[in-house]
Amino acid sequence: MTKIAPENKARQGRWGWHGLRILVAALLLAFIAWGAAEIYGQKIDPDTPESQVQPTGQTAPANQSSPAGEGQSGG
């Protein structure tokens, strides 16, 4: 036999707009946290080109050897 519940006691389908608002707010907070983590991760990354800024002026290329006699051990 089927049990009959009064209308004021039945709770099925009650989530509606309230539940949707909570889920959307949680999704927005997750995106904000993700974005903050991405920005923080890029700022502390030691391999970024921003942290490898060369000073202005003339600099010698890395493959150029030093003038004769400087920095060489005699042999």
pLDDT digits (tens, 9 = 90+) for 9-63: 766 666 688 889 999 999 999 999 999 999 999 999 887 665 555 667 666 666 7
Structural domain range at position 35:
16-43
Question: In Å, what is the CA distance from 17 to each residue of 23, 27, 45, 64, 73?
Answer: 10, 15, 42, 69, 79
User: What pLDDT was estimated at residue 37?
Assistant: 96
Are residues 48 and 42 in contact, defined by beta-carbon separation less than 8 angstroms?
yes
Helix locations, the chain, DSSP H: 16-44
Give pTM, 2 decimals. 0.45
Q: Please give the structure tokens belonging to residue 30.
A: 């997750």
Are residues 37 and 29 in contact, defined by beta-carbon separation less than 8 angstroms?
no
Domain count of the chain? Answer: 1
34: in domain: yes
32: in domain: yes
